[in-house]
Structure formats: C-alpha cells, structure tokens
Structure 1
Amino acid sequence: MFMMFAMTSDSVGEIIKEVKIEFGVNNTQASLMHSLFMVGIAFSGLFLGFLADRFGRKPSLILGLGLFAASCYLFLVGETFEFILGLITLSGLAVGIFKTAALALIGDISTSTKQHTGTMNGAEAFFGVGAIIGPLLVAYLIRSGVHWMWLYVIAGGLCTILIVMALLVKYPEYQKPKTRGSASLHESLKLLKDPYAMGFSIGAFLYVAAESAIYVWMPSYLICNAGTVEDVFACYSNDTNKVLAMYAVSIFFSLRALGRFVGIWMMQRFEWSTVLVLFSFCILVCFVGGLWGGKSVALYLFPLSGIFMSVIYPTFNSKGISCFPKYQHGAVAGVILCFTAAGAAVGPLVMGIVSDMYGGDAKYGFIVATGFAALLFLGLVYNYLKRPTEARLAQVEKSEYNVSGEPA
C-alpha cells in the first residue's frame, strides 16, 4: 500500500516537466500538482484521522483505498488542468484516510515502542521502493509514447488488488475507546495543544519541506536549459554526468530506500536521537554543498542526501505516535500526517514562487529548502541535548506494551 501511492506522489517531479509543456503553465501553477495533493492529505489527516480510532482500522483502510482507486481511474477522462487538479486533491484526501489507519495498525501489531520504530522504518522502506518505481515508470511511459496519466491508472489497478487483500486479511483485535467522544474530531483537534504531538509534527513539516525539494525541483535545477532532450544536459562535461542528471531522482529514491532498510537495523541498535542529529547535519551539508558548488556538485550531493533522509521521517512518525495510548494512534497519526503534507505542500510551492521571482531559476528555491534543513538540524540538536520525550516514552512503554525499562 505504501509502495502503491508512493508511485504517484513521488513521481510528481517528472510529471511537472510534462504538465508545464502540455498545459502551458508556469512553475507556480505546475507545483499545484504536488501542493494540492498534499493539501488533501493534510485536511484528511487532521479532520478525518479519528475515523481509524472510532470505526476501526479495517473499515478506514478500505474506505481510503476505494476513494484513491476511483480518483486514479478518473484520470482516463481528464482533459483539463483544473479537472486533473481536482482528482489530485481527491486522491490526497483518500491517502490521508488509509494512511492514518495503516499507521495506527502498526501500533496494534507492535509489542514495544522500539519494535514500533523498526516496523515503521520497514513500512516506509516500501514507500521508498514505490518512489523508485514511479519516476522510472513515468520515464518509460513517455519514451514509449504513452501519456503520463496512465501511471495513475496503473496505480488504481494495484489499489483495487489491495482492497481485495484488505477484505480478506484478518486484523488484530482492536479495543475501541469506551467512550464515543474519546475518538472524535474534537479530541483530534485537542492534540494541536499537546507539546509532544506538535513537536514531532513541526519536525515532520521541516523534514518533508526539505525532502520534497529534491524530488519536486531537483530535475528543474539540474537541467542546463529548456531546449530539446539533447541540450537539456549539454552543460555537463561527460556522458556519465549527463546520465546521472537524467536519473538523479531515481538515484535519490534508491539511496533513500536502501537507507530505510538499513534504518530497520540501526534503530534496533542505536539511540534514535543520536542518529537523527547526525543524519540531519549530513543533509544540511549536502544542501549547502550543492548550492555552493553549483550543478556539477549538486549532481552528486543532492541525490546522496537520500541516504541521510532515510530514517528521519519514519522515526518522527513512530516516536510521535508512541507518545500516546493506542486508542489515540489514529488521531495523532493524522495530526503528524497533516503537518507532513503541509510541509510537502508549502515547501515546493514557496520554492516555485521564489524561483519565479528570480527568472525561474530553481537555485533560489533551493536556498529556501536549505533554510528548512538548517531549522531541522537545530531542532534535532535540541532534542539530542534535552531528551524531552524520554520520560513520556518510558511511561507509554509500561502502560501500553507492558514493558519495563527505558525506551530505545
């Protein structure tokens, strides 16, 4: 499931290049392909995340998958840019529903907060696999003369298979809250005042704003000019660099996926705040170096940042959800997902606006993204030094998982 929707969401950088030509839109307008999808996820996560807690994980999963499949199939009749943006928004709403249910389900099958983090990294690793497949599939479709919209039709077919699987799989027993009001929109909104929910949510916002800069605008940053395929990469000195520029997004996602599988091992053996502060520093170095050295250096450093990004978001998600009892997992997952999607929507949109202000040069947008990466690093330095969640995680470890001792 994570792999399926990553095929569409993380292909947007490749799709934007085609949309700008097909519909004659500028960077800001084209970025709505990404931003409205994320707005849909943000709205759904915040206002509908409680559905998984009130009605159960399985019904919420099936509802979200059904809406996503419908939006994908409707691309077959999409002819205008406005209609496509509507479908993008609907698919985002659907993702918000089924992903919060899936994230809550991870808590149901975990036996400790430590295992929760490992399982979350595993799920997000498959998201990384989908992020590799999607851009490659878009490139293959375009080279074969097939319209890029068929990517969504393929995703709709996979989604239909997932719906059948969800109907057949036996889910672990879920204890619904005794009082109906404890799983409601009102209770979800109250989480906006909780320092643990907001701390991890703000961290997710900053991380995703930086990450989405790579897969949304890196293809535009690395090209030399907007001419034919032959001269798009003409500024690179050798054929190897031209190939790297052409497949930079796929390389980034490949390294991120590899890093997430490694992350499963790392998070079971190393203290999580140490890993995050080290990796966030490396991300910042990649961004600064890519801007300072220009395209020829960014060609290597921007994709390399995928390794260091690999474990940050799954760990934010896991530790943030683990700070709360299981009957709130859907709601808190929705709040974190809301800020995640907001970061993915706001970051690339601001980058597009700033780039257009300076003649369409994506370099200026990446200066904004570097600012997000710097704030993320500073926040994780504070987390490493102060350990604000240590006591809360230990408390939940005992009350929800019947495990004594300090959480890892």
Structure 2
Amino acid sequence: MKNQRIMLALFLIYFVFAILLNSVGTVILQVIGNYGVSKSSASILEAFKDLPIAVVSFLVASFLPRIGYKNAMLAALALVTAASIAMPLIPAFWTAKLLFLCVGVAFALVKVSVYSTLGLIARDRRHHAGIMNTLEGVFMVGVLSAYWIFGYFIDSSDPASRSWLQVYWVLAALCAFTFVLVLSTPFDEGTAQLPAGRSRWDDFTAMLKLFFKPLVCVFVMTAFLYVLIEQSVGTWLPTFNNEILKLPAAMSVEVTSIFAACLAIGRLSAGFVMRKMNWYPVMNICVIGMAAMVLLALPLTHDVVADPNITWSSAPLATFLFPLIGLFMAPIYPGINSVMLSSLPPHQHSSMTGLLVIFSALGGTTGSFITGYVFGNFSGHFAFYLTLVPITLVLITLYFFKRQVDHVA
C-alpha cells in the first residue's frame, strides 16, 4: 500500500510537469498577442525552460541523495506553485520567463528524484521497466491534456484577452495538492544514501567517472540518439503537415496530437508488456517498426495537391499513418532507462539520471537543429528520411548495450 501511494505521487508529479513543460508553445503564442512581444523575443522562453534543466541536473544530481529525493520534490513543487500564482497576479513577459525558469529548475530536481525513487520501490528489473513505461505514459497523457486545459481558457475571439492566465490558478491548485500528497507520503530512502565520508566534490567527480564506464557510455549514446529522433519528429511534424501535406495551420497542429497520443498509448501499453517480456527483443521490434513506418508513410507524401476545403476525412493517408511511429517509439526511452538504472546500485541512480537528463537535452537540441536545417535547405521529405540514420544507429547501440548489461549482470 505504501509503494502504491508513492507511485501515485510520482505519477501525479510527472502529470503536472508534463502540462507545464508542454505549455511553452501555447504561452509563446499568447505573450505575442497579449504583451506585444516579437516572435524572436518570445522564442527565448524555450531556452528559459531547457537550459536550467541541463545546468541544474549537471550541478546537483550527484549529491541529491544528501538533500533527499522527497525534499527535492517538495522544493520543486513549492517553486512551481509560487511561479504559477505569479502569472495571473503579475501579468508580464518577464513573469512568463520566470515561470519557465522555475519550471526548468524544478523539473531537473523532479526527474532525478522520481527516477531514483523508482529504483527504491521496484521489486526487480521487469517491474522497474513496467512502472518506468507507465510513468512516461502518464507524462504523455499530461502533454495531451495541456492542449485541452489551456484551450479551455483561451478566448479565440479576442487575441488580446488575458483570460488564459486563469489556467494558472488551476495548475497552482494541482501543484499544491501534489505537494500535500508527497509531504504526507512516507519515503524510505535509506538504500540511496551515499557512502559516508565523501564530500560533495567527491560526489560530483564520481558522477563524471560514471560516464566513462563502457555500460554508461553506450547507454547515453543510445539515449542521445533516441531523443534526437523523437525531437526531430515531434518538433517538425506540424511544419511537415503544413508544407508537405498541405494541411491548414490549425489542422497541422491538431493532427500532431495523434503522435503524442501514440506515445502515451505505446508507453502505457509497454508498462504491462515489459513486465512479462525481456526488454531486448521488445526494443529491437520497436526500432524496426519505426523504420518501417518511415519507409511506409513517407512515399505517400509525395505530389500532394493543396485542397482549400480539406477536412479530417479527406486528408491524405500519410496524415494519420506517419504519427503512428509514436507507438513503436514509445517504449524505447523508458525501457533503456529502466535497464540502465536497475543495473546500478540505488545510490548511483541520482548521478546516472543527471547524466541522462544532460544527454537527453543535448540530443533533443541536436535533433531539432539538424532537422530544421535540412528541412530549410533541402526538403521536408529528405529531413524525415534522414531519421533512418539515427534509427539504424540505435539498433546498433542497443546490441552493444545488451552486451554490456549482460557483462555487468
């Protein structure tokens, strides 16, 4: 019962942060209309969110067990609760910057703490893989929910309306409720304690040394490549829908939600599958499935003719076929994360998650940049066909990852 309560708290934390993190695009749109901010200036909100995640993970992950995972989660929730309350009380562009700065800092604390806590409550490797996939599935449900929650408060008839700011009262209440749930839930972090007599500098250098282990090195390469693929598709799919499939701008964004829904369904389903099956064949099937979807769907996107009266029922088949890549993509990230963490002693989970967050951020940034460059200078078709290169590399790194895991075991 205690572990079920802990898992509920972790799932709710991830759900809340999925909404806050995924709201950056919506907030950019709203601050442009509300505060007269230029597009280039508004785009800085993405950096206010992403950079603190990488920086804070790098600086604090190694000694977070000394602070305590529960204390870190409580501090993160308190921070985003206060920032959410500030949004409607002090409506300004700098408040939005502050919000995403707080969200970035808080999510760094939360992700390291949540991933490390899973290692404390999982019974074995398969159980760990199952709850990891379920956790990431809940995150994707939060991503989907963000579109609808923010959409409910936006006044489409008046672009200058600030009614959308009222959504932050709801989010602040949800954060506060989660804070109370975490505060009232007992956490046993005894097995995560760092060895006695080590300084914080020793903790930090131990994290850096961890990277040079063959198992860890292959893992972060695999995670980097996976996030590169996911970010390439997720970030540029709306533009692909608009420019290649000739869909209207609004519909291009709405159709992208199919990709997010597939990620959510895939991860929630994998949460059950991974408890029953060995992780390696599942990962290989998923990677091959991703490549198959690229080769199956992209040929259908050539020579699409623009239709001013297009509807969901008359959209090209590729509109609905390509986002299904999310079903195959979904289990890979939580799957490899689970295998990696369950191969290490609990006191190293915090440092390992810190490295994971850093390389995930680098992979996401790299993927988005490369795809954008190729899309702009060559073609959207070539940009998405190019994903076959990192997909093939993931298949290769998974083989070496499996060898290293077996060697450690």
Q: After TM superposition, is the score higher than 0.5?
A: yes
2:137, 2:58 → 1: CA distance?
24
Residue 176 (structure 2) pairs with residue 160 (structure 1): yes
Q: 1:246 to 1:339 in 2, by over 3 A?
A: closer
Residue 283 (structure 2) pairs with residue 247 (structure 1): no
Match of 2:300 among 293, 297, 304: 293
1:311, 1:130 → 2: CA distance?
17
Is contact 1:49–1:100 with CA below 8 Å preserved after alignment?
A: yes
Is contact 2:228–2:366 with CA below 8 Å preserved after alignment?
A: yes
1:222, 1:14 → 2: CA distance?
19
Please give the per-residue CA displacement for 1:85-113, whole angstroms capped at 9, x wherever unaligned: 45323311210111101110000001212
2:369, 2:114 → 1: CA distance?
28
Residue 21 (structure 2) pairs with residue 9 (structure 1): yes
Q: 1:331 to 1:218 in 2, by over 3 A?
A: same
2:357, 2:343 → 1: CA distance?
15
Match of 1:84 among 78, 96, 102: 96
1:150, 1:342 → 2: CA distance?
34
Q: SS of 1:49's equivalent?
A: helix
What is the one-letter code of the residue matched to 2:231?
S
Residue 398 (structure 2) pairs with residue 383 (structure 1): yes
1:291, 1:12 → 2: CA distance?
29
1:392, 1:69 → 2: CA distance?
45
Residue 230 (structure 2) pairs with residue 211 (structure 1): yes
Q: SS of 2:154's equivalent?
A: helix
What are the within-5 Å matches in structure 2 for residues 346-361 of structure 1? Answer: 346-352=366-372, 355=375, 357-358=376-377
Moved more, 5-14 or 112-121: 5-14
What is the one-letter code of the residue matched to 2:145?
I
Q: 1:84 to 1:343 in 2, by over 3 A?
A: farther
Please give the per-residue CA displacement for 1:172-225, whole angstroms capped at 9, x wherever unaligned: 242312324277222222222222223222222222222223433322332369
Shift in Å, 1:160: 1.7
Q: 1:244 to 1:341 in 2, by over 3 A?
A: same
1:104, 1:12 → 2: CA distance?
27
Q: Where in structure 1 are there 5+ consecutive unaligned residues?
A: 226-232, 395-408
Match of 2:207 among 168, 185, 188: 188
Please give the per-residue CA displacement for 1:30-61, whole angstroms capped at 9, x wherever unaligned: 65443442222122222211243222221111
Q: 1:350 to 1:311 in 2, by over 3 A?
A: same
Q: 1:386 to 1:139 in 2, by over 3 A?
A: closer
Residue 39 of structure 1: aligned partner: 51
Please give the per-residue CA displacement for 1:273-303, whole angstroms capped at 9, x wherever unaligned: 2211221232234345554433735412332
Match of 2:336 among 316, 319, 340: 316
What are the within-5 Å matches in structure 2 for residues 108-187 of structure 1? Answer: 108-143=120-155, 148-175=164-191, 176-181=193-198, 184-187=203-206
Q: Where in structure 2 are there 5+ consecutive unaligned residues?
A: 1-12, 305-315
Moved more, 156-165 or 117-126: 156-165
2:262, 2:211 → 1: CA distance?
34
Is contact 1:128–1:254 with CA below 8 Å preserved after alignment?
A: yes
Q: SS of 1:268's equivalent?
A: helix
Match of 2:287 among 260, 270, 280: 280
What are the within-5 Å matches in structure 2 for residues 29-68 of structure 1? Answer: 32-68=44-80
Q: SS of 1:337's equivalent?
A: helix
Is contact 1:63–1:98 with CA below 8 Å preserved after alignment?
A: no
Residue 310 of structure 2: aligned partner: none
What is the one-letter code of the residue matched to 1:308?
F
Please give the per-residue CA displacement for 1:207-258, whole angstroms capped at 9, x wherever unaligned: 2222223433322332369xxxxxxx9x45xxxx999645223222222211
Q: 1:386 to 1:180 in 2, by over 3 A?
A: closer
- Alignment root-mean-square deviation, CA: 3.2
What is the one-letter code of the residue matched to 1:107?
G
Q: 1:130 to 1:265 in 2, by over 3 A?
A: same
1:352, 1:385 → 2: CA distance?
30
Q: Percent identity?
A: 25
